[in-house]
Amino acid sequence: MCVRWRVWCRRVWPLLLLAALGGWGCFPPTDSALDEAKEPYYVLGLRKLGSFDYKGAVEAFEKAVEANPRSASAHFQLGILYEQKIAEENSYAIAIYHYNKFLQLRPQSAHAEIVKQRIIACKQELAKPIALAPGAQSVLRDIERLKVENAQLRSQLEAWVAYATNRAAMIPPPQPAPVPAAGGHATAVQPVPPPASMVEPARSATVVTNRPTAMRTHKVQANETPAAIARKYGISLGALMEANPGVDARRLKIGQVLNIPSS
């Protein structure tokens, strides 16, 4: 019994209160509302309500809206009628439309909170056929599962792309193919020794061998930070920033190319 009472209070009482506040003929005593209440079609709609002619009331209030699209009073009455009295396929959707129009025209109305509750109730009624359809819950669970799997696959793909990019940067350039000899057999190309005057001393050769290797590069991906990039290549953040003196660590851009020093 208590449960039924709570359900009645939650569903029926707001409607009764809304009807009482909406006036079914009595609206907030603002200047604009008083002007709207004098409109002939609006007055006719109230009379139709008094005689329980709900379809006639709807027609009258809709004509009142045609005569004055800013008639919040008429939108208010139409919202109540379509929610409570008119049993049509799209009655709840039409009620939501008129309730929203009322809120747009009278956002500070004393009825605003009640109207918002009625909009929520209408949306719940619209969602019932979907929620109660056979297999609907199973479909919703499948959709959520697919969303999670899609996000996981996207992360894996991004990781593989980054891995392939790093591997490609580490592969040395291809060596020139051997030139076939006159007899048709491929022989290795022997390097031509430089002239004696061009041979550097042993000290120069040592200097050449100690030159740093070609610097790698990295293209910035979404949500990457300098610290994360440095960890990725096993270098310190300071070394990374020294190799990129013109880069603002706080403003990395997607697609920006960074120099990666050797570790």
Dump pLDDT digits (tens) for 75-113.
999 999 999 988 888 899 999 999 999 999 999 998 899
**Does a structural domain hold residue 198?**
no
Alpha-carbon span 251 to 240, nearest angstrom: 15
Reported confidence tier of residue 166, pLDDT bands at 50, 70, 90: confident
Structure tokens belonging to residue 175: 């060596």
Tell me if 110 is assigned to some domain. Answer: yes
What contacts 24+ positions apart, CB below 8 Å, involve 49-53?
49/24, 49/25, 49/77, 50/25
pLDDT tens digits for 21-43?
Answer: 444 444 444 556 777 888 999 99
In terms of domains, do 247 and 221 share one?
yes
Question: To the nearest whole number, what is the mean pLDDT of the chain?
Answer: 77
In a domain, 171, yes or no: no
Q: Binning pLDDT at 50, 70 and 90, where does residue 190 land?
A: low
Q: Is residue 91 part of a domain?
A: yes
Q: What is the mean pLDDT of residues 126-148?
A: 72
CATH number at residue 221: 3.10.350.10
Give mean pLDDT, residues 69-74.
94
What does the pLDDT read at residue 186?
Answer: 52
Indicate whether 29 and 122 sit together in one domain.
yes
Same domain membership, residue 53 and residue 19:
yes
Structural domain contains residue 104: yes
Q: Is residue 5 part of a domain?
A: no
- Contact indicator for 18, 114 with CB cutoff of 8 Å: yes
Q: Tell me what pLDDT residue 55 has.
A: 94
Show the domain range for 141.
136-165
Residues 92 and 23 in one domain: yes
Residue 119 and residue 14 share a domain: yes
- CATH code for the domain of 90: 1.25.40.10
Same domain for 98 and 161: no
Does 96 lie in the same domain as 142?
no
Per-residue confidence band for 12, with pLDDT thresholds at 50, 70 and 90: very low
User: Per the domain annotation, does 189 fall within a domain?
Assistant: no
CA distance 64 to 148: 51
pTM: 0.44
Indicate the number of domains in the chain. Answer: 3
Do 18 and 127 reside in the same domain of the chain?
A: yes
Q: Are residues 157 and 245 in the same domain?
A: no
Would you state the pLDDT for residue 213? 58
Distance of CA 131 to the CA centre of its chain: 23
Kindly tell me if the per-residue pLDDT of 182 is higher than 60.
no
pLDDT bracket for residue 73 (50, 70, 90): very high
Tens digits of residue pLDDT in 208-249:
445 555 678 999 998 888 889 989 898 988 888 888 988 888
Query: In this structure, is the dihedral angle defined by the CA atoms of residues 240, 242, 244 and 248, taken in order, positive or negative?
Result: positive
Predicted local confidence at residue 143, as pLDDT:
74
Of 79, 106, 131, the last residue of a domain is 131
Give the pLDDT band of residue 206 (cuts 50, 70, 90).
very low
Does residue 119 lie in a domain region? yes
* 66 & 143 share domain: no
Decide if pLDDT at 187 tops 60. no
Angle between helices 54-67 and 40-50 (to 10 degrees): 170
pLDDT band at 2 (very low <50, low <70, confident <90, very high): very low
Going by pLDDT thresholds of 50, 70 and 90, the confidence category of residue 151 is: confident
Task: Give residue 14's pLDDT.
Answer: 47
Structure tokens belonging to residue 226 = 């300098």
100, 142: one domain: no
Supply the pLDDT for residue 52: 94
